[in-house]
Chains A and B, each alone.
Chain A
Amino acid sequence: MAGEIGRERVRLLMDQRAQIVDVLPAREYGEDHLPGAINLPLRKIETEAAKVLDATRAIVVYCADSA
């Protein structure tokens, strides 16, 4: 289960080399994404996450907003 965090914590985790995961569709990711984020759209996350993410490092996921 993912713990909810805010912007400042994200920045802190970025400094600590966390993996930032954008789960938006590729087109939206292409327009704007957080620095260093990789794109793993929701529909692919179950099949791809284990292949592309390092389980030893923190992972931060985000989408557009909570609405």
Chain B
Amino acid sequence: MYDYRAGIRDWMGAGLPTEGMNSQRPRLADVLRRDVPTCSLGERLGDIRGRAAGAGWDACVVISGDRVVLGLLRAAELQGDPALLAEQAMRPGPSTYRPFVSVAEMRRTMTDRNLESSPVTTSDGRLVGLVRKQDVGAG
């Protein structure tokens, strides 16, 4: 007998499929953008901005080597001095959400907190993608 001690929260946190009533409701895993640009702490804002814009983005998630989310560069931060490092310009430690959060709940959260975009991570903080207001119908 094996004990999957981390349990269903770990499973859902990794964005893996489930069965049951809630599995039919849309969740962040269904709408998040996995193609969000990423960068490291030591990259220059000018380089990041160019790369993000080239891919059609005005946001970039700052991550560590093992993809743990360290910060977020939204449109306002990306417009800063191009010589700044991501570490100097980013919003550090942004609130993150798990892939199993329902789209309806996230719509309320983003509206209430006036969030433009938020990283979605596994339970151990690794980036899964970015969810934007328009992805959850919040504006």
Contacts and interface: CB of A to CB of B under 8 A. Distances in A.
Question: Is B a genuine binding partner of A?
Answer: yes
Interface of A: 1-7, 9-11, 13, 18, 22, 24, 29-37, 58-66
Given A32-B8, A66-B6, A7 B1 contact: no
A2 B14 CA distance: 23
B16 A31 contact: no
Dominant SS among interface residues on chain B: mixed
Interface residues of B, number: 22
Contacts of A36: 19
Contact of A30 (B8, B10, B20): B20
15 contacts: A4-B3, A7-B10, A9-B2, A11-B16, A32-B8, A32-B100, A33-B8, A34-B8, A34-B19, A58-B1, A59-B2, A60-B2, A61-B2, A61-B3, A64-B9
A26 to B, nearest CB: 11
Nearest to B12: A32
Contacts of B21: 30-32
A3 B9 CA distance: 19
Nearest to A19: B1
A59 B1 contact: yes
A61 B20 CA distance: 17
A7 B20 contact: no
Interface in B1-32: 1-12, 14, 16-23
Contacts of A11: 16
Given A10-B4, A31-B21, 6 more contacts: A4-B3, A6-B4, A31-B20, A32-B12, A62-B8, A64-B9
Contacts of B22: 31-32
